[in-house]
Amino acid sequence: MTHATASKTAAGRFFEDFRIGETIRHATPRTLNAGDASLYSALYGTRFALQSADTFAKAIGYPESPIDDVLAFHVVFGKTVADVSLNAVANLGYAECRFVKAVYPGDTLTSTSEVIGLKENSNKQSGVVYVRSRGFNQHGDTVLDYVRWVMVRKRDHHSPAPDAVVPKLVEAVALADLGSACPAIERAAYDDTLSGSPNRFEDYVAGERIDHVDGITVEEAEHMIATRLYQNTAKVHFNQHSEGQGRFGRRLIYGGHVISLARALSFNGLANAFHIAAINGGRHVAPLFAGDTVFAWSEILETSVLPGRDDVGALRVRTVATKNRPCTDFPLREGDGYEPNVILDLDYWALAPRRP
């Protein structure tokens, strides 16, 4: 009986269960629809016109409003948790995230993870696993992919270490890899009043910093509703009975929730950065808990035209989120680390329309 029980319940992979080159197909496929888009909107208050109104989307060249890029990311990510990070000690980082194809209501997403790196820790109790995860639509087209690395416990400390393989990751996604999810944009039809800002690609300059002003306080019900919407099953987000006895004494909020909040806040200053084309990297510097208030600011790291396109340009943006601390003075580093209230340091490429 005990054996039958053990075999029915997924315990997640341990470090020694991963093999270089192996591709893991994840459960559960998910059809995204208008209901998911409404919930996403209600959870974060996002106001980007493209994702909010079919009329706006059609006017500029999309067939209809696409699913928010970050929502698609969360759904693809959520599926990987049960197979990749159920026994994780820590999520260490992600990089090379490319949004390859737009996702529309009615599309069904599935995901896979290819093991591209393994490195046992010197204490032999855990190791770092690198996976390249890919999200696909119902036609088998890749909609997004990214690399994630995570520290995973070993089942047995005596099991032998695999040969260490650490993938080379680019610091930023190449310009040639940006924009395939964005159709040709009708610059003249892009209505800056409806979109909420007169500032287009040309108005941003490298080094510019923008305080996104507003703050949003997060509630337990909100982050759990969001994280379940993504079918992300990481235990730390949901179970106060066990987390109450854990390191923080409380439920930890999914890092992706912070990204979505920061992206929604960034509307005030970046309203025309309508599409996230790539995430170069992200660090969750400190945990967020219910009751905390999230603020954000951004720095324009780089601006670049896109090869072969004159409709949109790429802004490389660093968005920093804090908790319980307004961002008027752009808090960031302190000594070798971060100021205590910084929770997210995100580096991404966003597309904005060029002037007609």
Residues 334-353 that bind its own copies (CB under 8 A): none
Question: Measured from the CB of residue 320, what is the shortest distance to its own copies in angstroms?
Answer: 14
Size of the site for its own copies (CB under 8 A): 87
Instruction: Write down the residue that tokens 């192996």 correspond to.
Output: 22
Residues in region 54-83 near its own copies by CB under 8 A: 54-56, 65, 82
Q: How far is the CB of 177 from its own copies (least distance, A)?
A: 27
Q: Among 19, 20, 188, 217, indicate the residue that binds its own copies (CB under 8 A).
A: 217
Query: For its own copies, which is the closer residue by CB, 198 or 307?
Result: 198
Show the binding pattern over residues 25-54: x = contacts its own copies (CB under 8 A), - = does not.
x-xxxxx-xxxxxxx-xxxxx-xxx--xxx
Q: Are 185 and 274 in contact (CB under 8 A)?
A: no
Is residue 97 packed enough to be buried (19+ CB in 10 Å), middle (13-18) or exposed (0-12)? buried
How far does Cα 261 stand from its chain's mean position?
11
Contact status: 23 vs its own copies (CB under 8 A): no
> Which positions from 275 through 294 interact with its own copies, judged by CB under 8 A?
291, 293
Q: Nearest 5°: CA angle at 65, between 184 and 137?
A: 85
Q: Which stretch binds its own copies (CB under 8 A): 13-21, 120-128, 154-162, 228-236?
A: 228-236
Q: Is 228 in the site for its own copies (CB under 8 A)?
A: yes
For 84, phi then psi, to 5°, come to: -105, -45
Q: Which stretch binds its own copies (CB under 8 A): 15-23, 125-133, 189-197, 347-355?
A: 189-197
Q: In angstroms, what is the minimal distance from the CB of 116 to its own copies?
A: 20
CB 65 within 8 A of CB 48: no
Does position 180 interact with its own copies (CB under 8 A)? The reply is no
Instruction: Say what the alpha-carbon torsion angle 318, 321, 322, 324 is, to the nearest 10 degrees.
Output: 140
Does 189 interact with its own copies (rule: CB under 8 A)?
no
Per-residue binding string, its own copies, 242-281, x by CB under 8 A, is: x--------x----------------xxxx----------
CB of 148 to its own copies, least distance (A): 20
Q: Is 9 in the site for its own copies (CB under 8 A)?
A: yes
- Distance of closest approach, residue 316 Cβ to its own copies, in angstroms: 16
Q: Let me know: does 107 contact 32? Beta carbons within 8 Å.
A: yes
Sign of the alpha-carbon torsion through 85, 89, 90, 96: negative
Q: CB-side exposure of 258: number of CA atoms within 13 Å?
A: 29
Ramachandran bin of 136, using left for φ above 0, alpha for ψ from -120 to 50, beta for the remaining angles:
beta
- Binding its own copies (rule: CB under 8 A), the pick from 21, 158, 168, 207 is 207
User: What's the min distance (Å) between Cβ of 133 and its own copies?
Assistant: 15
Q: Which of positions 100-159 make contact with its own copies (CB under 8 A)?
A: 106, 108, 110, 138
- Return the number of the residue (106 or 167) whose C-beta is nearest its own copies: 106
Q: Which of 204, 264, 258, 250 is nearest to 226 (CA)?
A: 258
Residues 301-320 that bind its own copies (CB under 8 A): none
Residue closer to its own copies by CB (options 82, 276) is 82
Smallest gap from residue 264 Cβ to its own copies (A): 8
User: Residue 354 interacts with its own copies (CB under 8 A)?
Assistant: no
